[in-house]
């Protein structure tokens, strides 16, 4: 899962007036009381929690058969899935070391920019526990026991199982290349999982599935581009790995987009308001809190995620223009411009969404023009043994 950060456009205040809050202050944090019909909104760390209305929560509860019949079939049976071992030298093979040497020779042509981009994507995939936890914060769809037999719970676990293969194969492949400082990468992964993420989805499945619809498409684009670049640099096997991951993300993208499409069918006002809300907040990359523990020390004033994103953008793996293209794709996919809405707020959200991709493209063009004139900085990346890249 991935996307770059953009400059913030107009963003609505997520918290209601203070007089409507019923919370208990604890130091700098705000700790919410348990929800009830008599309390006001729950506010935690500046955002509303459990923001879905009872009516919309009831609607989500009716979609179990839809998930079972239209979403779960997009997952492949385990026996038909590729596994990391399908792409890696078999360690039991007597010629294993010879195959590793061939792999290392093949990857000598990968430039450092590619390695950093690939590693950043790999670290993002390795933070999978965070993404499963995020899905299980969503009201009405979470796995209440850890092994619940509901369609929503089964989807989350089986989606996670398919995703788990991605980080595994990427990590093992990079380990065998000898091109990376694996301990630094492992520290980054542990720090990232420990830091978590906050996509601003408010425990609201409407918001959560807009987020995942966007992120899965972004990930598909990113892995598709790393596949193309690997082929250009002479590593056909790595291209197959990245392409296989992109194919998985393509199926997952369709699954989440079907869910939002169903919400549009049942509740067009609620769906368009959720879509606009997430676009106003902006879709943050799941790995925006990545930290290797040394990047900002060796490169004072710099941020690891921001520098990784710059390298990825300059490499053409994922750019702000891709962000705009994804928005435009979803607007067409969900027929946003063609729908009728009952409330004025929903009609306003519809108008905002339809205009947004062009607005983002203009902002991106200006940002690109500024970057082209700005001086680059030599920045060390611990992932490649502190070799420097221009950012």
pLDDT digits (tens, 9 = 90+) for 329-349: 999 999 999 999 999 999 999
Q: Which domains are present in the chain?
A: 55-390 (1.10.620.20)
pLDDT, tens only, 348-358: 999 999 999 99
Average pLDDT of span 148-169 = 98
Q: Is 155 a catalytic residue?
A: no
Both tokens assigned to 232: 């250009």
* Contact by Cβ (8 Å): 381, 389: yes
> Catalytic: which of 126, 143, 163, 292?
163
The answer to the question of whether 166 is labelled as a binding residue is: yes
**pLDDT band per the 50, 70, 90 thresholds, residue 124:** very high
Residues 124-144: b if buried by 16+ CB within 10 A, e if exposed: bbbbbebbbebbbbbbbbbbe
Instruction: Based on the residue annotation, tell me whether 163 is a catalytic residue of this protein.
Output: yes
One of 202, 248, 267, 292 is an active-site residue; which one? Answer: 248
Does the annotation list 108 as a binding residue?
A: no
Instruction: Give yes or no for residue 284 having a pLDDT over 80.
Output: yes
Q: What mean pLDDT is predicted for residues 131-147?
A: 97
List, for residues 169-191, the tens digit of each pLDDT value.
999 999 999 999 999 999 999 99
As a whole number, mean pLDDT of residues 376-389 equals 96
Using alpha carbons, list the distances in angstroms from residue 321 to 243, 316, 387. 21, 10, 29
Does 249 show up as a binding residue in the annotation? yes
Cβ–Cβ < 8 Å for 123, 194: no
Q: Would you state the pLDDT for residue 21?
A: 33
CA-CA-CA-CA dihedral for 176, 177, 179, 184, to nearest 10: -20
pLDDT(125) > 90: yes
**Taking all residues of the chain, what is their mean pLDDT, rounded to a whole number?**
90
Active site residue 252: yes
CA distance 349 to 345: 6
Task: Encode pLDDT of 17-48 as tens digits.
Answer: 333 333 332 222 233 334 444 456 777 677 78
- Ligand-binding annotation for 216, yes or no, is yes
């Amino acid at each position: 899962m991935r996307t770059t950060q953009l400059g913030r456009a107009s963003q609505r205040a997520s918290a209601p007036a203070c007089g409507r809050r019923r919370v208990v202050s604890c130091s700098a944090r705000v700790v919410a009381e348990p929800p009830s019909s008599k309390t006001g909104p729950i506010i935690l760390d500046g955002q509303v929690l459990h923001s879905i209305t009872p009516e919309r929560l009831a609607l989500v509860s009716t979609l179990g058969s839809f998930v079972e019949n239209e979403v779960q079939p997009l997952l492949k049976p385990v026996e038909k899935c590729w596994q990391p071992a399908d792409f890696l030298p078999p360690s039991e093979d007597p010629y294993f070391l010879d195959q590793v040497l061939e792999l290392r020779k093949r990857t000598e042509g990968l430039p450092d920019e590619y390695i950093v981009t690939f590693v950043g994507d790999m670290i993002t995939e390795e933070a999978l526990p965070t993404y499963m936890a995020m899905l299980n914060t969503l009201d009405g769809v979470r796995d209440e026991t850890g092994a619940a037999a509901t369609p929503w719970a089964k989807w989350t676990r089986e989606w996670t199982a398919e995703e788990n293969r991605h980080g595994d194969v990427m990590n093992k492949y990079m380990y065998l290349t000898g091109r990376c400082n694996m301990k630094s990468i492992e520290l980054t992964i542990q720090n990232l999982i420990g830091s978590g993420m906050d996509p601003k989805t408010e425990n609201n499945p409407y918001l959560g599935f807009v987020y995942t619809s966007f992120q899965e498409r972004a990930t598909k684009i990113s892995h598709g581009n790393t596949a193309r670049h690997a082929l250009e640099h002479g590593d056909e096997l790595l291209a197959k790995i990245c392409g296989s991951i992109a194919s998985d993300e393509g199926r997952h993208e369709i699954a989440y987009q079907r869910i939002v499409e169903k919400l549009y069918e049942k509740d067009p006002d609620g769906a368009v308001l959720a879509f606009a809300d997430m676009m106003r907040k902006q879709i943050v990359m799941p790995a925006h809190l990545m930290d290797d523990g040394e990047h900002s020390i060796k490169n004072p004033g710099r941020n690891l995620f921001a520098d990784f994103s710059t390298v990825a953008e300059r490499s053409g793996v994922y750019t702000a223009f891709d962000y705009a293209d994804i928005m435009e794709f979803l607007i067409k996919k969900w027929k946003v411009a063609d729908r009728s809405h009952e409330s004025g707020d929903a009609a306003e959200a519809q108008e905002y969404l339809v205009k947004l991709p062009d607005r983002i493209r203009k902002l991106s063009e200006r940002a690109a023009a500024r970057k082209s004139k700005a001086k680059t900085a030599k920045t060390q990346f611990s992932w490649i043994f502190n070799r420097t890249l221009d950012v």
